[in-house]
Amino acid sequence: MLGLSDIAHNYAQLCPTQPSNHQTGRYESVFTKRGSCCAFVVWDVFPRLTPGYSAMQTVIITGASSGLGAGLAEEFATRGYAVGILARREAELQAVVARIEQAGGTAAYRVSDVTDKDGLATAITELEAELGVCDLLIANAGGGHPMPASAFDPDIISRMMRVNFDGTVNAIAAVLPAMLERGSGHIAATSSLASYRGLAPGGPYSAAKAAVSTLMESLSVELRPQGIAVTTIHPGFVRTPLTDTNDHPMPFLMDLDDACLTMADGLIGRRREVNFPWTTATLMRAVRQLPRWVFEPLLKRVAKL
């Protein structure tokens, strides 16, 4: 007779969205507990028995022409997802799609600026028509650079808010009504561990990402009871084109592949938050609790202000 861990192992082998050995090992250990097995049946097996269920899930990722978004696109494609990607640079998007297709995956792209609400909605609708309805949205487009108070520029700050925050809002708005109607789906956004406090001289970036995290936290409360998972991703420093231009120290800098594995695992586990690397995440959790009289001198010293 099959034990629970055998069932979990077979499931992990068969399930098109979770074929990695790493994931299989996790399922084996997790499913040795009876309570977890019930959760497995409710979350994973039951939806597969409902009419209209398609084994191939669709993930749509904004900001996927490079860095974390492109890496996530390739990671989800290897896990059996159909992948729709969006950004402004067409050649880079084409290259990501070509790599996925060469590896036997399914992908499509649309050129779109996340600050253009209507254009983004149209592009996402087109991707859904091509690949299937969006099961998982990852609003990842964003970025920003330090801006000392001496160079305070409202236009640049407003642009940072538009790309990071409005871009997230626009992407969510494009898929949320249909998810609410279906009573299922998953929305994720890439924030940053820099959102935990006002990290001068990167205040505007911290502020834009804090807005993203706060929005996602509140959406989670409303949407989870309606069958829609909400995940906020808080990366520390990851080696991408965004950080390649940084000339300040980047403690615990993580490789892109490791970051994408961590993010994909957390997303497939439908976690509320994915914070990594654990070293920076632990440090920033502690920093968040510091009283102002400790935090301010410490930051001044670290940032050489």
Ligand X SMILES: NC(=O)c1ccc[n+]([C@@H]2O[C@H](COP(=O)([O-])OP(=O)(O)OC[C@H]3O[C@@H](n4cnc5c(N)ncnc54)[C@H](OP(=O)(O)O)[C@@H]3O)[C@@H](O)[C@H]2O)c1
Judged by CB under 6 A, does residue 68 bind ligand X?
yes
Sign of CA dihedral 30, 35, 41, 42: negative
Q: Is 109 a catalytic residue?
A: no
The smaller minimum CB distance to ligand X, of residues 87 and 274, is found at 87
What number of CA atoms fall less than 13 Å from residue 200's CA on the CB side? Answer: 16
Interatomic CA distance for residues 228 and 224, integer angstroms: 5
Binding segment for ligand X (CB under 6 A), chosen from 45-53, 145-153, 224-232, 238-246, is: 238-246
Binding segment for ligand X (CB under 6 A), chosen from 74-82, 137-145, 147-155, 284-292, is 137-145
Kindly indicate which of the ranges 5-13, 24-32, 140-148, 267-275 contains the residues binding ligand X, using the contact rule CB under 6 A. Answer: 140-148
SS3 59: strand
- Contact pattern from residue 19 through residue 58 relative to ligand X, giving x for each residue in contact according to CB under 6 A and a dash for the rest: ----------------------------------------
User: CB 67: neighbour CB atoms within 10 A?
Assistant: 22
Least distance (Å) from ligand X to the CB of residue 303?
A: 17
- Could you give the C-alpha distances from 186 to 175, 268, 271, in angstroms and in order? 10, 10, 10
Q: In whole angstroms, what is the distance from residue 32 CA to residue 8 CA?
A: 9
Among 9, 26, 78, 88, binds ligand X (CB under 6 A): 88
Residue from 58, 190, 206, 275 in contact with ligand X (CB under 6 A): 190
Residue 22, exposed/middle/buried by CB under 10 A (0-12, 13-18, 19+)? exposed
Considering only 17, 231, 240, 262, the residue that binds ligand X (CB under 6 A) is: 240
Structure tokens at 305: 């202000």
Q: Does residue 188 bind ligand X (CB under 6 A)?
A: no
Which residue's Cβ has the minimum distance to ligand X? 67
Rg over alpha carbons for the chain, rounded to the nearest Å, is 20
Q: How far is the C-alpha of 245 from the C-alpha of 100, rounded, in Å?
A: 27
Which parts of this chain interact with ligand X (CB under 6 A)?
Answer: 62-69, 87-89, 92, 113-115, 140-143, 163, 190, 192, 235, 237-238, 240-243
Cite the active site residues.
Answer: 205
